[in-house]
Amino acid sequence: MKPRFLLPHSFKKVGWIVLIPSIAFGIFVQHFEYTISGFELTPFFSESSLMVAGESLKNNLTNELAGVLVLISACLVAFSKEKAEDERVSQVRLESLQWSVYLNYALLLIAILFIYNEAFFYVMIYNMFTILIFFIIRFNFVLNIKDRIFHKAETA
Amino acid sequence: MKNRIRIERAVVDITQETLARKVNVSRQTINAIEAGKYVPSTVLALKIANTFGKTVEEIFSLEDADWK
């Protein structure tokens, strides 16, 4: 199966450079309710619909910025070609996608059953990104790290 | 599935890297095939056999487990 609909390899480095700080930024924004002062936009809908789970998000766009940065950079990392694409890389990519969807929904199921109210709001926010994150972790682990750990990589 | 790639490589004295470049895959893929961790596609198996001047059956053989 030849890889289709993948970005050129050059996008991957850009993706990583943006992704790591974006994740840190996102977690920071989420837990410390950090906002960039004055970074606001006139709301398109009424004030009342902006009160979510008891937290007033008002119309500050800092969390939106964090979300967009993480989402786009994670897509860049996940969906750009490897330096050397061959059939095994395609197979690992497909397996990793399946694995990450399974893992994501298994964790979500557990979260739905055991986490409630305001805490679940955080679950929902992280769940938006975990499919991609799990995929990125597993894909790169299998391709680059797994064999080195188990001393299977031969240099000859 | 068993394969004799490592033996054939030793016979003609080429590295995994050289074989990989010849059949247009990565060295890790050749390593994974030799270790029995990855089953190559038909085309790739044909290319590998062709590189050694042999047929596919001379390089790759089925095991009982493959029939399950």
pLDDT in tens, A3-58: 789 999 999 999 999 999 999 999 888 887 777 766 666 555 545 444 454 455 55
Q: How far apart are CA B45 and CA B5, in angstroms?
A: 10
What is the identity of the amino acid at A50?
L
pLDDT of residue A81: 94
Best probe of the A interface among B26, B27, B42, B47, by most A CBs < 10 A, is B26
Strands A51-52 and B60-61: unpaired
- Window 4-63 of B: residues touching A by CB (8 A cutoff) are 15-16, 24-26, 28-29, 31-32, 34-35, 37-38, 40-41, 44
Give the C-alpha separation, B54 to A112, whole Å. Answer: 57
Beta-carbon contacts of A47 under 8 Å, excluding residues fewer than 6 positions away, are none
What pTM was computed for the model? 0.84
Question: Taking the CB of residue B48, how many other CB atoms lie within 10 A of it?
Answer: 25
The predicted structure's pLDDT at residue A2: 72
Q: Return the closest-CA partner of residue A103 out of A127, A69, A78, A76.
A: A127
The token pair that represents B38 in the structure block: 């990855």
- CB A87 to CB B41 under 8 A? yes
Output the pLDDT for position A147. Answer: 72
